[in-house]
Amino acid sequence: MSKKTMVHKGPGYGYQKKREGEPRSCIRFKCTLINTIQDVLRQRAGWVEVKDDSEWDFYWCDVGWLRENFDHIYMEEHVRICHFRNHYELTRKNLMVKNLKRYRKLLEREAGRQEAAKCDFFPRTFELPCEYHLFVEEFKRSPGSTWIMKPVARSQGKGIFLFRKLKDIMDWKKDGNRSEDQKDETQVESYVAQRYIENPYLIGGRKFDLRVYVLVTSYVPLKAWLYRDGFARFSLTRFSLSCIDDHYVHLTNVAVQKTAPDYDPEKGCKWQMQQLRRYLSARHGTQRVEELFRNIDGIFIRSLQSVQKVIINDKHCFELYGYDILLDQALKPWLIEVNASPSLTASSQEDYELKCRLLEDTLHIVDMEGRLTGKEKQIGGFDLMWNDGPVSKDDINLDALGSSTLTANTHLGYVNDRKTQLRQLLKSLSGQKKV
């Protein structure tokens, strides 16, 4: 769809002739993705799909459409769209690290080194080619270490490779993965070079990472929700540092693993988050695992705070982020990357059901129907994690207590009681409207 056809010259997206206070007869949605989200939108009561240049109230768009069209459209008050204008400040690998480094320096100036140290949850990282000389200095300080190269704007494991010799980087710097017709160009694709975590936590000898979902409905003030469900993505091949060229060993992306000769689509390569939490608790004890998950919560909050002042806040926008977290043998969590368009394509029936629940609850929070009070701390499988400050599980006066004494309102990997909770919530809201 071209920019020209999407530039709106009429009343604006979401325009419907209706009396003030009168509910809309239906919610018109558009969706550019053909996967789980399309199924969820089509099954939602009172929602109607529109095509082409028709007016819409809700648009689940891809980031390409956003980049081309966001600045050229006018949206009515109630209209919602699934990305913030410059979401890439957190989701491009180089910008994420740049913002985290800047935020850590700010914390060190304002709150001291101890507070700044809480941001030490991402590996040593350099952007190439612009930080190549800084990278070389660091590389020479730790001879024999393994590094990983990632293109800043690609996903699903594309373009990633591990290396231990500068010669491998020189080859990349010279060729830069360019096609023959690009060989004469001076600019190469930007990458990040990152210290590879050589001691990942293993289960059954295999590496895994966590995919966790965080929904942000506002950056000013910051309002973030954490989903209870998620999953661990496993590699199918036993971990070893002796074969750094084997992507089936080192990359846990499903897009990579499903190309393995022994991949079984029925079994897949995922554990549900509840299963992982039970396993870790059995091995390390409840207290240590609770500390681990508190540290993971801290990664979500501090990474969002690191971009809070640079993201263009817009009441029409929300963002469902897919966080990728890696654990090392000391149970320290590391932030690997944040995805603005986490895969919504299901790899199994169980995966499809998880993503349906996730997306249904996302739509409940976005609340196109106008049913919520704004005071809810749980909606389906989502728990309100941050609302211009930490959210307590208990109803207490946060002004009277230090944030260190409150019990955080997060339940990652616990039982997802969304059906019961939604039934009670919607019944309560229905009763309030009758009154």
Sheet holding 47-49, edge to edge: 47-49, 27-31, 58-60, 80-81
**What percent of the chain is modeled with pLDDT above 70?**
85
User: Which pLDDT score, from 0 to 100, does residue 265 have?
Assistant: 67
Model pTM score: 0.90
User: Which pLDDT score, from 0 to 100, does residue 110 have?
Assistant: 95
Interval 273-302 mean pLDDT: 97
Confidence band for 341, pLDDT divided at 50, 70 and 90: confident
Average pLDDT, the chain: 86
Q: Which of 17-31, 246-260, 305-319 has the highest mean pLDDT?
A: 305-319
Which range is least confidently modeled, 59-73, 85-99, 397-411? 397-411
User: Which pLDDT score, from 0 to 100, does residue 366 have?
Assistant: 97
Interval 154-163 mean pLDDT: 83
Interval 236-243 mean pLDDT: 91
User: Which pLDDT score, from 0 to 100, does residue 434 have?
Assistant: 47
User: Which pLDDT score, from 0 to 100, does residue 175 have?
Assistant: 54
The answer to whether residue 171 scores a pLDDT higher than 80 is no
The answer to whether residue 178 scores a pLDDT higher than 50 is no
The single-letter code of the amino acid at 399 is: D
Higher pLDDT, 426 or 23: 426
Do 189 and 177 contact (CB within 8 A), yes or no?
A: yes
300: nearest Cα among 384, 399, 417? 384
The answer to whether residue 2 scores a pLDDT higher than 50 is no
Interval 236-250 mean pLDDT: 88
Cα dihedral 112, 114, 118, 121 sign: positive
The answer to whether residue 10 scores a pLDDT higher than 50 is no
Q: Which of 129-133, 140-144, 221-225, 247-251 has the highest mean pLDDT?
A: 221-225
Higher pLDDT, 14 or 238: 238
Higher pLDDT, 358 or 13: 358
Q: 130-144: b or e for each residue (b if 16 or more CB lie within 10 Å)?
A: eeeeebeebbeeeee
Confidence band for 159, pLDDT divided at 50, 70 and 90: confident
Do 40 and 360 contact (CB within 8 A), yes or no?
A: yes
Higher pLDDT, 400 or 206: 206
User: Which pLDDT score, from 0 to 100, does residue 411 have?
Assistant: 95
**What percent of the chain is modeled with pLDDT above 90?**
65
Tokens of 119: 């941001």
Interval 386-390 mean pLDDT: 96
User: Which pLDDT score, from 0 to 100, does residue 290 have?
Assistant: 96
**Cα(161)–Cα(246) distance, integer angstroms:** 9
